[in-house]
């Protein structure tokens, strides 16, 4: 669940961004559209608690990330959010399984090897657990990154440009996988994209067009 | 904590070449510092032990330092001889509590044969391991190291050769018999062969005298090489050396003064070595810093992702510090091992020259500073990268297109 009211963010030495109010129920999908510089990243950063809104109210999964202290906010993010970055950011110093273990390290939790294996198996990449990310194909790497995002069964999943540089068939498959994973966790899914195909593939998704506020 | 240690180690070895270079630099710096500490501590200890209770050394005129090195540490040749009568006159001096005569001149397989009195053994508190003290001239007591290296056990006969270095004329017609062997005392006696002063006179009188009359004449002119003197009161230190130096043909040298002078001269060498170690450590610190800085830049996204996954800034910074501490730990272990090994090697070489005893298998408390220095260097190198990682703008991760 994500709800905003009169959300604004003022960059210290830059423009002020005002965002339209949204109300996404828990488990729904929101497609965040807009061109580069339209404020998509800022909105994502606000929802993730990486930035604090200058004005307005923001509720993400029953919490106000802007109202939490730094340490509590980091802990909240670890528990609540799953994140699928565009560049995936799988560390090549580690194996696939170890990359997933990072989630536990970051959250300060003991590693649950069974959960890691299960998350990899759910995305059909269990046999890649011992490989280095550089040995994976693009599609495999995205599955691994998605497994990492859903490992702690988050309430909200943020995906940044998940279909960039994918052909139509792959993009559709990636989106189905993403939506399916979110559904399994019962998570609210936010997809930031400028790809028209996303809205077409995910029928029934809410759409929020940036720059239209 | 365990996860932090394991993860940082993995990150460290993800760039094996850089890690190995940094490890090498740190190890070399720490090893040279360990080496300097071990050597200087042992040299200081050896000097202290050998000097204990000797207030002055009296010998022929010449370099006072040479006299001390020859008479106390037995690592230099003596400046010359003094008349036995003159030494005996000093014995009667009211300021002198004890006078131990030493006669040098011969050696066996590089170990000096020293003619003296049993007082010399008592002075260092050495104990007999086998046999007995000499009861008559031409009986000898071997120090532990000399006995082991030259295979001397009670009952064995050996022939001294003229000169302190070996290879001189062999006094074949006057062999010594080993009467006893000393237990190791960790002092200069370990590498000496001791005998009665009379033995040394006898060997040389027999070697040079042409007839009985000549021998009598030589006996009247008997000499010793030098004498170790203990004062009755510390006040004697002020007047006794001046008295000897101005009124006799002999010189008196105060070991404490000369050794301080020597250590000041040698000290330049240890300072250079220590400075060298410091420079190596500094280079290592810089290299570790650059490596960590590179790691922060290279892994900026990885680190930002950790923040995104919910790791606190302190946890991300701790990861880098931990990586540096791993280097420090590994380098400490390797550096200490290498430093001790090097000292052992030098000690082995010196032993072959019958010089200062030096061991690598010795724990010196000062060496405990080495891991601390390593940790300090690593922390200093990690500080700026870690702070940078703390203040990283995570939101930018979302902006990289």
ipTM score assigned to the predicted complex: 0.87
User: Does any CB of chain B come closer than 8 Å to the CB of residue A173?
Assistant: no
Number of domains chain A contains: 1
In the prediction, which pLDDT does B354 show?
61
- Token pair, residue B197, equals 């002063």
In the prediction, which pLDDT does B355 show?
64
Residue B181 has pLDDT above 80, yes or no: yes
User: Does any CB of chain A come closer than 8 Å to the CB of residue B365?
Assistant: no
pLDDT tens, residue by residue, B21-54? 889 988 988 898 888 888 888 888 888 888 888 9
Looking at residues B105-131, what average pLDDT do you find?
91
Contact A74 B310 (CB under 8 A): yes
Helices marked H in B116-254 = 119-123, 144-150, 197-208, 212-220, 236-247
- Token pair, residue B60, equals 């022929």
In the prediction, which pLDDT does B401 show?
47
Among A75, A89, A105, whose Cβ lies nearest the Cβ of B301? A89
Query: Using CA of residue A156, residue A84, residue A77, residue A126, what is the dihedral sign?
Result: positive
Looking at residues B267-279, what average pLDDT do you find?
79
Residues A134-165 as b or e (16 or more Cβ within 10 Å = b): eebeeebbbbbbbbbbbbbebbbbbbbbbbee
Higher-pLDDT residue of B344, B364: B344
Looking at residues B299-326, what average pLDDT do you find?
88
- Which B residues, 176 through 195, put their C-beta within 8 Å of a C-beta on chain A? none
pLDDT tens, residue by residue, A50-109? 889 999 999 999 899 989 998 899 999 999 999 998 888 898 889 999 999 999 999 999
pLDDT band at A213; cut points 50, 70, 90? very low
* Strand intervals (E) in A61-101: 81-84
Q: What's the CATH number where A144 sits?
A: 3.40.50.300
pLDDT tens, residue by residue, B203-239? 877 777 777 787 777 777 888 999 999 999 888 888 9
Query: Looking at beta carbons, which residues of chain A come within 8 Å of B315?
Result: 106, 108
Integer CA distances (angstroms), A77 to A7, A138, B5, B86, B312, in order: 19, 27, 23, 94, 10
pLDDT tens, residue by residue, A134-192? 999 988 999 999 999 999 999 999 999 899 878 898 899 999 999 999 999 999 999 99
Domain holding A117, by residue range, is 2-209
Integer CA distances (angstroms), A118 to A97, A131, A150, B25, B245, in order: 11, 17, 11, 44, 93
Query: Which residues, in sequence order, are CB contacts of B28 under 8 Å at separation 6+?
Result: B280, B284, B335, B338
Residue B168 has pLDDT above 80, yes or no: no
Query: Looking at beta carbons, which residues of chain B come within 8 Å of A49?
Result: none
Predicted TM-score (pTM) of this structure:
0.75
């Amino acid at each position: 669940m994500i709800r905003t009211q009169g959300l604004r963010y003022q960059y210290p030495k830059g423009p002020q961004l005002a965002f339209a109010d949204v109300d996404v129920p828990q488990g729904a999908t929101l497609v965040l559209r807009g061109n580069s510089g339209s404020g998509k990243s800022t909105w994502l950063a606000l929802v993730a608690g990486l930035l604090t809104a200058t004005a307005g109210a923001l509720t993400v999964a029953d919490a106000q990330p802007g109202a939490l202290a730094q340490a509590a906010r980091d802990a909240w993010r670890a528990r609540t959010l799953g994140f699928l970055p565009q560049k995936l950011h799988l560390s090549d110093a580690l194996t696939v399984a170890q990359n997933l273990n990072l989630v536990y390290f970051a959250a300060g939790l003991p590693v649950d090897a069974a959960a890691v294996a299960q998350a990899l198996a759910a995305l059909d990449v269990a046999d890649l657990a011992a490989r280095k990310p550089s040995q994976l194909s693009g599609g495999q790497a995205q599955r691994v990154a998605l497994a990492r995002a859903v490992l702690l069964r988050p309430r909200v999943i943020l995906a940044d440009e998940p279909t960039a540089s994918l052909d139509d068939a792959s993009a559709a498959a990636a989106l189905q996988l993403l939506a399916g994973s979110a559904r399994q966790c019962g998570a609210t899914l936010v997809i930031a994209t400028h790809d028209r195909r996303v809205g077409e593939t995910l029928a029934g998704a809410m759409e929020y067009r940036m720059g239209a506020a | 904590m365990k996860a932090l240690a394991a993860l940082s180690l993995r990150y460290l070895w993800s760039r094996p070449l850089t890690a190995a270079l940094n490890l090498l630099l740190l190890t070399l710096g720490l090893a040279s510092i360990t080496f300097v500490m071990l050597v200087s501590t042992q040299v200081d200890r050896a000097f202290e032990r050998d000097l204990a209770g000797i207030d002055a050394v009296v010998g022929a005129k010449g370099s006072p330092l040479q006299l001390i090195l020859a008479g106390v540490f037995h690592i230099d040749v003596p400046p010359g001889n003094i008349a036995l009568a003159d030494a005996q006159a000093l014995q009667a001096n009211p300021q002198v509590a004890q006078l131990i005569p030493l006669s040098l001149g011969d050696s066996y397989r590089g170990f000096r044969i020293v003619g003296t009195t049993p007082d010399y053994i008592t002075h260092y508190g050495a104990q007999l391991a086998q046999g007995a003290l000499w009861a008559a001239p031409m009986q000898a007591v071997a120090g532990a190291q000399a006995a082991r290296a030259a295979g001397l056990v009670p009952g064995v006969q050996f022939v001294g050769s003229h000169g302190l270095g070996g290879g001189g004329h062999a006094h074949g017609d006057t062999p010594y018999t080993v009467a006893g062997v000393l237990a190791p005392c960790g002092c200069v006696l370990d590498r000496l062969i001791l005998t009665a002063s009379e033995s040394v006179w006898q060997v040389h009188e027999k070697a040079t005298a042409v007839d009985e009359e000549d021998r009598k004449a030589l006996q009247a002119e008997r000499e010793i090489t030098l004498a170790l003197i203990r004062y009755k009161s510390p006040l004697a230190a002020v007047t006794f050396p001046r008295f000897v130096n101005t009124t006799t043909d002999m010189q008196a040298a105060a070991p404490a003064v000369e050794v301080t002078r020597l250590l000041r001269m040698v000290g330049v060498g240890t300072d250079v070595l220590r400075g060298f170690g410091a420079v190596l450590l500094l280079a290592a610190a810089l290299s570790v810093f650059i490596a960590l800085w590179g790691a922060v830049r290279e892994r900026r996204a990885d680190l930002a992702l950790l923040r995104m996954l919910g790791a606190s800034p302190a946890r991300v910074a701790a990861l880098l510090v931990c990586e540096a501490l791993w280097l420090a730990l590994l380098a400490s272990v390797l550096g200490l091992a290498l430093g001790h090994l090097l000292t052992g090697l030098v000690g082995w070489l010196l032993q072959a020259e019958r010089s200062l005893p030096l061991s690598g298998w010795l724990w010196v408390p000062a060496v405990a500073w080495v891991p601390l220095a390593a940790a300090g260097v690593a922390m200093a190198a990690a500080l700026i990268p870690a702070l940078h990682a703390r203040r990283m703008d995570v939101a930018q991760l979302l902006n990289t297109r």
